[in-house]
A and B are shown apart, each in its own frame.
Chain A
Amino acid sequence: GAVVSQHPSRVICKSGTSVKIECRSLDFQATTMFWYRQFPKQSLMLMATSNEGSKATYEQGVEKDKFLINHASLTLSTLTVTSAHPEDSSFYICSASGGTTDTQYFGPGTRLTVL
């Protein structure tokens, strides 16, 4: 089946620093990638949708200058949390779809803790 990886799985950083999270589709070409954020015991909230080679579409309330998304190739998308603050601490999950858009394949998630 389709496999999506994320790196790193966990990251702890100081307030004010930037953190980059990678999302890779390992065995298929992902024309669309999605980034979600999940706070403890809550559901996934879509942050943005990115199509390869074009700018990401951000959901309402998500600051595009704070959460930089790059989808430069069909197998890699990155999310950079700039000037991270403790309230950005969360579980970030990416997903990817390619070919049929009915199914998204999810990465294992990245736990970000901002001190």
Chain B
Amino acid sequence: SQQGEEDPQALSIQEGENATMNCSYKTSINNLQWYRQNSGRGLVHLILIRSNEREKHSGRLRVTLDTSKKSSSLLITASRAADTASYFCATPASGYSTLTFGKGTMLLVSP
């Protein structure tokens, strides 16, 4: 079953703007991860936030986690055309090892 659900499904912005994507999940988690996928390519791990963390930064990425609302957000600041990709949140299923992916947000950044 789908654990993570991202919104919006698609987002189109101009270079320099910020992009915010949200992810909701249903069950308790130990951590939540965000991945990026360029068209027709594999996934790149962006950031992992643990259940006891509320916010995490990595370069132009900022991730928040609200376990009371079972939601997370990914903010990309000062977006670039190269940020154009699909972004997925993923949560570990029962146990630790398997990941369940959300449906993803397709981000298009226009020059």
> Which A positions have Cβ atoms within 8 angstroms of B?
4, 6, 32, 34, 41-46, 49, 91, 93, 95, 97, 101-109, 111
Chain A positions within 8 Å of B35 at CB level = 106
Q: How many A-B residue pairs have CB under 8 A?
A: 52
CB-contact partner of B42 in A32, A34, A42, A93, under 8 A: A93
- Contact between chains at B98 and A109 (CB < 8 Å): no
Complexed CA–CA distance, A49 and B43 (Å): 17
CB-contact partner of A46 in B88, B100, B106, under 8 A: B100
Q: Return B78 CB to nearest CB of chain A, in Å.
A: 24
Mask for B85-111, Cβ within 8 A of A = 1, else 0? 000100010001111111110100000
Residue of A nearest to B97 (CB): A101
- Contact between chains at B98 and A42 (CB < 8 Å): no
14 chain-A/chain-B pairs, Cβ below 8 angstroms = A4-B42, A6-B42, A32-B97, A34-B97, A43-B2, A43-B103, A43-B104, A46-B99, A46-B100, A91-B40, A103-B33, A103-B45, A104-B45, A107-B42
